[in-house]
Amino acid sequence: MKREKGLLIVLSGPSGVGKGTVRKALFSQEDIELQYSISMTTRQPREGEVDGVDYFFRSREKFEQLIKENRLLEWAEFVGNYYGTPVDYVRETIESGKDVLLEIEVQGAMQVKEVFPEGVFIFLVPPSLSELRSRIVGRGTETEDVIHNRMQMAKEEIDLMDAYDYVVENDKVEFACNRIKAIVQSEHCRRDRVAKLYKSLTEVE
């Protein structure tokens, strides 16, 4: 069904919970079509990460210039690096009737909520904090210092999960992916039903 406006879906959760892994699983499914909002960051690329695919990797100067020019929908400093969402892509995608997914941390998500309260806000949680630590360590991309800082941030982020519309456990990737798919499908059904009712109640006789 072609919709007038797409959904803005925000996926947050502590670093290492599996947002990227679950997102990739979601994007490989045939019964759901989402567009991914590629973020901008000042952090160094990890091995295998590609500019323009995983992130737009930019200098701090460039990032600060984009903040000044209001070209970011939201931005935040996370463990020493800037991260932000280019606004044009998000607006254009929604206006074209397609759903867009933002994978961002909580400070940024709260900024998006101010501008797009009609968004769908999903918080991904690990089965436990020790499992979260094992996942970050197992990924092998961060130093012990960074892992410590990210675990500290995780506790602060979990305190804010009440602000989200949905909390989804990432126990198994397949289960988490199916839960998110069900949320998106039910949000579509709900909004289509409200739009239909609104139309029928406001049509001139």
Ligand X SMILES: Nc1nc2c(ncn2[C@@H]2O[C@H](COP(=O)(O)O)[C@@H](O)[C@H]2O)c(=O)[nH]1
Ligand Y SMILES: Nc1ncnc2c1ncn2[C@@H]1O[C@H](COP(=O)(O)OP(=O)(O)OP(=O)(O)O)[C@@H](O)[C@H]1O
148 binds, among ligand Y, ligand X, none (CB under 5 to 8 A by kind): none
DSSP β-ladder status, 8-12 and 72-78: unpaired
85 binds, among ligand Y, ligand X, none (CB under 5 to 8 A by kind): ligand X
Q: Binding pattern to ligand Y, positions 146-185, x when CB under 6 A?
A: ------------------------x-xx------------
Q: Is 102 helix (H, G, I), strand (E, B) or coil?
A: strand
| Amino acid type, 168 | V
Residue 135 is a binding residue for ligand Y (CB under 6 A): yes
- By CB under 6 A, which span of 61-69, 80-88, 91-99, 184-192 interacts with ligand X? 80-88
- Tell me which residue of 108, 90, 119 sits closest to 187, measured CA to CA: 119
Which pairs from 46-53 meet CB under 8 Å and 24+ separation? 46/141, 47/141
Number of Cβ within a 10 Å radius of residue 19 = 22
Residue 85 is a binding residue for ligand Y (CB under 6 A): no
Residue 113 is a binding residue for ligand X (CB under 6 A): no
Known binding residues are 13-20
